[in-house]
Structure 1
Amino acid sequence: MALAPDGRIFFTERPGTLRVFEEGELRKNPLLELPAPFFSEGEGGLLGFALDPDFENNGFAYAYHSYRRDSGGVENRVLRLSISGSKAEIDKVLLDGIPGDTNHNGGRIKFGPDGYLYITTGERYEPELAQDQESLGGKILRISKEGTIPADNPFPDSPVYSWGHRNPQGLAWQPESGALYSSEHGQSSHDEINLIEAGGNYGWPLIEGDEAGTGSVEKMKLPLLHSGEETWAPSGMAFITQGPWSGGLLVANLAGQQLLHISPGTGNKKPSAEALFHEKWGRIRNVAEGPDGTLYVMTNNRDGRGHPGAADDQLIALKPNWK
Structure 2
Amino acid sequence: MAFAPDGRIFFTERPGSLRVIENGKLRKAPLLELLAPFVSKGEGGLLGLALDPAFEKSGYAYVYHSYLHTDGGVQNRVLRLKISSGKAEINKVMLDGIPGDTNHNGGRIKVGPDGYLYVTAGERYKPELAQDKDSLGGKILRISLDGSIPQDNPWPDSPVYSWGHRNPQGLAWQPDTGVLYSSEHGQSSHDEINIIEAGANYGWPLIEGDETAGKGEVSLKLPLLHSGSQTWAPSGMAFITQGPWSGELLVAGLAGEQLLWISPSSGGGKAKATALFQEKWGRLRNVAEGPDGALYVMTNNRDGRGEPGNNDDKLIALKPNWK
TM-score, length of structure 2 as denominator length: 0.98
Deviations 1:101-157 (A, max 9, x none): 010000000000000000000000000000000000000000001100000001111
* Superposed counterparts of 1:1-323, under 5 Å: 1-217=1-217, 219-265=219-265, 268-322=268-322
What secondary structure, in the 3-state scheme, does the structure 2 residue paired with 1:215 have? coil
Q: Which runs of 5+ in 2 are unaligned?
A: none
- Distance in structure 1 (CA, Å) of the matches to 2:199 and 2:26: 41
Distance in 2 between the 1:314 and 1:285 partners? 10
Query: What is the percentage of aligned positions where both structures have the same residue?
Result: 78
Q: Which moved more, 1:208-217 or 1:69-78?
A: 208-217
Distance 1:218 1:72 in 2: 35
Q: Once the 2 structures are TM-superposed, how far is the Cα of residue 267 of structure 1 from its aligned partner?
A: 6.1
For the residues of structure 1 that align with 2:75 and 2:24, how far apart are their CA atoms?
A: 35
**Counterpart code for 2:142:** R
**Offset of 1:37 from its aligned partner?**
0.1
User: Conserved in 2, the CA contact under 8 Å of 1:43 and 1:102?
Assistant: yes
Q: Distance in 2 between matches of 1:152 and 1:211?
A: 30
Moved more, 104-113 or 285-294: 285-294
Any idea what SS the aligned residue of 1:217 has?
coil
Unpaired runs of 5+ in structure 1?
A: none
Cα deviation, 1:264-298, whole Å, max 9, x if unaligned, reads: 01662211110000000000000000122100000
> 2: distance between equivalents of 1:304 and 1:85?
34
C-alpha separation between the residues in 1 aligned to 2:297 and 2:266? 27
Retained in 2: the 8 A contact 1:212–1:218? no
Q: How far did residue 214 of structure 1 move?
A: 2.1
Mapped contact 1:117–1:142 kept (Cα < 8 A): yes
Query: 1:37–1:205: structure 2 CA closer, same or farther, 3 Å change rule?
Result: same
Aligned residues: 323
AA partner of residue 96 (structure 2): D
Query: How far apart in 2 are the matches of 1:246 and 1:309?
Result: 33
Deviates more, 1:260-269 or 1:129-138: 260-269
RMSD, matched Cα: 1.0
Q: Would you say the 8 A contact 2:3–2:291 is kept in 1? A: no
Deviations 1:230-254 (A, max 9, x none): 0000000000012342211000000
What is the DSSP-based 3-state SS (H/G/I as helix, E as strand, rest coil) of the residue aligned with 2:57? Answer: helix
**How far apart in 2 are the matches of 1:246 and 1:179?**
15
**Cα deviation 1:289-321 (Å, max 9, x = unaligned):** 012210000000000000000010000011121
Shift in alpha-carbon separation, 1:11–1:140, aligned structure 2, 3 A? same
2:171 & 2:237 partners in 1: Cα distance? 6
Cα distance per residue 1:198-220 (max 9 Å; x no partner): 00000000000000012343620
**AA of the residue aligned to 2:147:** G
TM-score, with structure 1 as normaliser: 0.98
Once the two structures are TM-superposed, the CA of residue 188 in structure 1 deviates from its matched residue by: 1.0
Q: Matched residues in 2 for 1:217 and 1:233: separation?
A: 27
Q: Deviations over 1:76-111 (max 9, x none)?
A: 000000000210000010000000001000000000
Q: Hey, which bits of structure 1, 4+ residues long, moved more than 3 A?
A: none
In structure 2, what is the Cα distance between the partners aligned to 1:210 and 1:272? 15
Q: Is the 8 A contact 2:296 2:315 kept in 1?
A: yes
**Cα deviation digits, residues 162-213 of structure 1 (max 9, x gap):** 0000000000000100000000000010000000000000000000000001
